[in-house]
Amino acid sequence: MSRLSLLICCAFLFGCQPKKKDVKVQKAEKQDSIEKASIPESHSLIPIFESLDYLVLAKEPKEIMVTKRERANDSFPIYNQLAGYGEDIIMGKDLSFEDVIIYRKYGPNSTFEDYPVDVYQGELAEPDFSTNPAAKQFITRITEGCANGVNFSGHYTFVSWGCGSPCQTGVVVDRITGKIFDGPVTSLGSEFREDSKLLIKNIGALDKKTNLIEVCSYCEVTHEVWNGNSFETVYK
């Protein structure tokens, strides 16, 4: 076979091969297919509204809009308030809250790795109840929690307990000084690590398979960073 014929054959064979997609496109399509497949199935409801932040399901198409709380009361008289999340109000025309399921899309701009700290390896101080007299009501719970060592933000022990349903409260104990700080109040628990200053409130509201949060009066998921005295919100 001549060299020219060989080149023509090779060109034909390679031309018949399916072209590979751009890597970024492949990844995006894969993620998109996962998200669509992971939408919860609830009483045959269908998606009627989707934005960067929200997904709304209902039995049939209806008009949905999202606005800010300060505008919700007087700007849109034909819309009913369905639910709220943070500063947002989700509204619907000819709909009530019982007609829909509303999800907030979880897309935080902060992770545990963004707030790293070194874990203290020295001798641990016992909780000093003189620094927080109110904590004396929970001496046993706090003492038992501290017995497990450091579990938060390098040299602190985070201890929580139930305060009703749904409600959790607790304290943050400095294991170098023993000082006791008031902890956050949550509805659906917290997630935290010993080597990070970040704490995620109400983590139990998040469906980690779909990355969706079903919107309810106590389901707001926020990211809080410990500054040594209190928590500062960095995502909600």
Residue-by-residue pLDDT tens, the chain, 236 positions = 444 343 334 443 334 443 333 322 322 332 333 344 356 655 589 999 999 999 999 999 999 999 998 887 777 888 999 999 999 999 999 999 999 999 999 998 899 999 999 999 999 999 999 999 999 999 999 999 999 999 999 999 999 999 988 999 999 999 999 999 999 999 999 999 999 999 999 999 999 999 999 999 899 999 999 999 999 999 98
Tokens of 209: 């398979």
Strands 180-182 and 88-92: unpaired
Given a contact cutoff of 8 angstroms between Cβ atoms, the answer to whether 199 and 224 are in contact is yes
C-alpha 194 chain-centroid distance: 19
The pLDDT score that the predictor gives to residue 41 is: 57
**pTM for the structure as a whole:** 0.78
Report helix, strand and coil shares of the chain as percent, to nearest 5.
Answer: 25, 35, 40
Given a contact cutoff of 8 angstroms between Cβ atoms, the answer to whether 178 and 130 are in contact is no
Q: Can you name the residues that pair with 100 across neighbouring β-strands?
A: 58
Given a contact cutoff of 8 angstroms between Cβ atoms, the answer to whether 211 and 106 are in contact is yes
Delimit the domains of the chain by residue range: 24-105, 112-204+217-235
Given a contact cutoff of 8 angstroms between Cβ atoms, the answer to whether 40 and 210 are in contact is yes
